Amino acid sequence: MDNKRIFAACFIFFILLFLIPPVSASTTTLTITVTDDYDGSVIEDASIYIAGTYVGETDSDGEYEYTHSKSEKFRVTIKKDGYDYWTDMVSYTRTSLDVELERASGSLTINILDSDTLKPIEDAIVKVSGDDIDDSESTDDDGSAEFSVYTGSTYIVVVKKDNYNSIEREVEMDESSMDVDYLLQRNDRVIFQVTESESGLPLDGVSVYIDGDLEGVTDSEGRLNVYLDHEESYYIEIKVDEYQSYTDTHYFGIDDIIYSVSISKTLYPVSIAVYDSSKVPIEEAEIYIDDSYFGKSDDYGQSDVTNLNAGEHTFEIRKTGYSDWEETVLIDGVGDNIVATMESIRADVTVVVEDSNHNAISGASVILDGKSIGSTNSQGTITTELLTDSDYTFSVTKDGYKDLTQTEDVPLGSTEMTITLTMESSFNTALLGGVVVLIVIVVIVVYALKFVGKRDRRGRGRYPGGRDGGSL
């Protein structure tokens, strides 16, 4: 019986255990709101830590809801870049928490440089202003000024310096420490730009004088920066070799920055004389200057250039029958007299030595204007190169022949020519004929004498044995 009661009681207990819903533990929701301590603005994306564990971030309204069932107080920590972090113990029964984060202090360093030289500018006045600061400092010898500011804040920076244009810039402190560089442009600068009038190209090495003092020379772009107080007049001189000097008195207004000058080359008279190698004037020679035709020489081989720019110029002289003459000359007004000596064109001259029957004479010695040029070959020829437009004297010697001297002209402009020299035999044919005749006469006389002698001998032998020795 007791066992039945016990079993029934257990059965009822388990029935009640499954039928009666369990009683849940109580929960609490803590709403955390994070704002900026300085201006009260909500802070988005602030990191929330509960008891040292990251649980989430604030939304666009700067809020985060944390639901828990804690039964005792716990630590809440809030962090955000640019702010000092916040931490404190919070009661487990608390349902809202308003946290104001203080902006973290930072350092803003302003560096001021010259825009032309990029060198630091000392004693520039730098003013930094914002909701939490309004301070001015002078830059030190390295061109910098430092300010204590708050991270996450925006500041207005104003920079001033005598003879420089002032600037105003906005800086947002995204980091706890920032270095910002600014370039100041001088407001007393004048850029001198010098070009060549003829070509429009920039001229380097040009000297610029202000009120008689040399300020410097232009660079490869024809520029020179000069610092002048504006709203004043200055006497300007521009000078460079081979160009005409430029002078001007100019008033520089407040907005005058560029002063442009175009200068022309100095003009000089030039005289040209054209001669051949014998110093004989050559007329009608064509004259070219810097590849451009200028004119021709006159009857005296002369030509004058009235005005020629200073500097280097290439002169070329051309004349038929002469080799072209060319030379580059610096025209600077000192002894600008050009003398061109032109050489006649050389010709290949073949000398032919033959006898009166047009037979080639080899081995004949040929002398040209007193100098031996060699002996003829087996064809009776010898070749030499001679200047045209000249007379030459040829002398030829050969055993068995009479010496020959002959003057020949090589015409101007010839490239090839043949000169024939005919030699006479040194044998006297008339004398030879006389000798032959004499020999023939002697032979005839000798033969005749022999014939007469034989006849006389025959006659003396016949008479004694005949008429005187016969009988009657």
Tell which residue, 85, 96, 93, has the closest CA to residue 63: 96
pLDDT at 171: 93
Extents of the domains making up the chain: 28-101, 105-184, 199-251, 267-342, 346-423
Tell which residue, 237, 202, 197, has the closest CA to residue 220: 202
pLDDT at 3: 64
Per-residue pLDDT tens for 120-130?
999 999 999 98
pTM for the model stands at 0.43
pLDDT of 24 higher than 70: no
Beta bridge partners of residue 327, listed in sequence order: 315
Given 3.90.950.20, 3.90.1150.10, 2.60.40.10, 1.50.10.20, which CATH number is that of 105-184? 2.60.40.10
Question: Residue 46 corresponds to which amino acid?
Answer: A
Would you state the structure tokens that stand for residue 93, as one six-digit string? 């029964």
CA separation, residue 452 to residues 21, 27, 438, 462 (Å):
202, 194, 21, 16
**147 vs 138: CA distance, rounded Å:** 11
Q: Torsion over CA of 272, 277, 282 and 285, rounded to 10 degrees?
A: -70
Rg (CA), the chain: 63
pLDDT at 428: 57
CB 261 within 8 A of CB 244: no
Q: Which residues contact 335 (CB under 8 A, 6 or more apart)?
A: none
Tell me which of 305 and 136 has the higher pLDDT.
Answer: 136
Q: Which residue has the tokens 């930094």?
A: 128
Helix, coil or strand: residue 424 = coil
Per-residue pLDDT band at 94 (split at 50, 70, 90): very high
pLDDT of 308 higher than 60: yes
Tell which residue, 322, 326, 335, 337, has the closest CA to residue 283: 322
Per-residue pLDDT tens for 219-253?
999 999 999 988 899 999 999 988 889 999 999 99
pLDDT at 198: 84
CA separation, residue 235 to residues 194, 249, 252 (Å):
16, 4, 11
Second CATH level (architecture) for the domain 346-423: Sandwich (2.60)
pLDDT at 278: 85
CA separation, residue 258 to residues 99, 165, 238, 263, 454 (Å):
60, 16, 15, 16, 140
Tell which residue, 42, 52, 32, has the closest CA to residue 94: 32
Would you state the structure tokens that stand for residue 461, as one six-digit string? 């032998």
For the chain, the straight-line distance linking the first and the last C-alpha, in angstroms and rounded, comes to 252
CATH topology of domain 267-342: Immunoglobulin-like (2.60.40)
Residue 125 host element (H or E): strand 125-129
CB 394 within 8 A of CB 406: yes
Question: Is 346-423 in the same CATH topology as 105-184?
Answer: yes
CATH number for the domain formed by residue range(s) 28-101: 2.60.40.10
CB 353 within 8 A of CB 380: yes
Q: Lowest-confidence range among 48-62, 359-373, 430-444?
A: 430-444
**23 vs 4: CA distance, rounded Å:** 31
pLDDT of 4 higher than 70: no
